[in-house]
């Protein structure tokens, strides 16, 4: 059997650009609309799973109530913690830590932002959550509401990209993508 995950990225947040990471920003009205538009025609989901950060969870709560679907908040699907870079825009980092930012973009598995979460640990955390979902809900279709980093990680793997190309995967606000998780945990994009 396989698990189908429809991955929905949160919409635009009140604090705008920058590396939001574990900051708990709320959605803007535009962000709410981006997410509503993405699921305007709901698919045949069996349940919903969401990051507990409010930019994901508030929309998940609204949608699960509207569709009468069970909702589980999964802490391991939170965004990468960017440490000292949390809340800082890439433009600001180009002025203050261009070398570090360049190294991070070149290979996020090798360079960790100061006091941040290593991408390898982030990957293990996210994959652990996906394995638990696959084991618990094999054969189901789940709407998973999360963050750009989580989605880039899963989509890069599903597309067979080298892991250092993780940040080259484009995932806009309100983006909706599908992946299949087989019994062995292998991901394919659908």
Describe the strand order of the beta sheet including 47-50 as a list of residue ranges.
71-73, 47-50, 141-146, 2-9, 176-182, 187-189
The values of phi and psi at residue 5, to 5°, are -115, 120
Round to whole Å and give the CA distance between 52 and 157: 24
Whether 48 and 63 have beta carbons less than 8 Å apart is answered as yes
Stretch 53-57: mean pLDDT, rounded? 98
- So what's the pLDDT on residue 109? 96
pLDDT, tens digit (0-9, with 9 covering 90-100), for 147-180: 999 999 999 999 999 999 999 999 999 999 999 9
The Cα–Cα gap between 127 and 133 comes to 10
Rounded Cα gap, residues 95 and 49, in angstroms: 38
Report pLDDT for 141.
Answer: 98
Q: What is the pLDDT of residues 87-117, one digit of tens each?
A: 999 999 999 999 999 999 999 999 999 999 9
**Cβ contact 100:106 at 8 Å:** no
Neighbours of 115 (CB within 10 A): 11
Domains of the chain, each with CATH number or no CATH: 2-81+119-189 (3.40.50.1240)
What is the distance between the alpha carbons of residues 86 and 102, in angstroms, rounded to a whole number?
Answer: 16
Supply the pTM of this predicted model.
0.96
Among the residue ranges 7-21, 64-78, 121-135, the one predicted with the least confidence is 7-21
């Amino acid at each position: 059997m396989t698990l189908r995950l429809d991955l929905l990225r949160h919409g635009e947040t009140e604090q705008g650009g920058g590396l939001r990471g574990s900051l708990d920003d709320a959605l803007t009205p535009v962000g709410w609309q981006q997410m509503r538009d993405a699921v305007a025609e709901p698919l045949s989901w069996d349940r919903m799973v969401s990051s507990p950060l409010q930019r994901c969870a508030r929309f998940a709560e609204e949608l699960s109530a509207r569709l009468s679907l069970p909702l589980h908040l999964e802490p391991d699907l939170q965004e990468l913690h960017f440490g000292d870079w949390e809340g800082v825009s890439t433009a600001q980092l180009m002025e203050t830590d261009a070398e570090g930012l360049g190294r991070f973009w070149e290979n996020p598995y090798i360079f960790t932002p100061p006091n941040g979460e290593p991408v390898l640990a982030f990957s293990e955390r996210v994959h652990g959550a996906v394995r638990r979902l696959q084991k618990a809900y094999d054969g189901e279709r789940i709407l998973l509401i999360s963050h750009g980093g989580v989605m880039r990680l899963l989509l890069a793997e599903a597309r067979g990209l080298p892991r250092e190309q993780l940040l080259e995967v484009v995932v806009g606000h309100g983006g909706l993508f599908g992946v299949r998780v087989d019994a062995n945990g292998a991901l394919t994009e659908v």
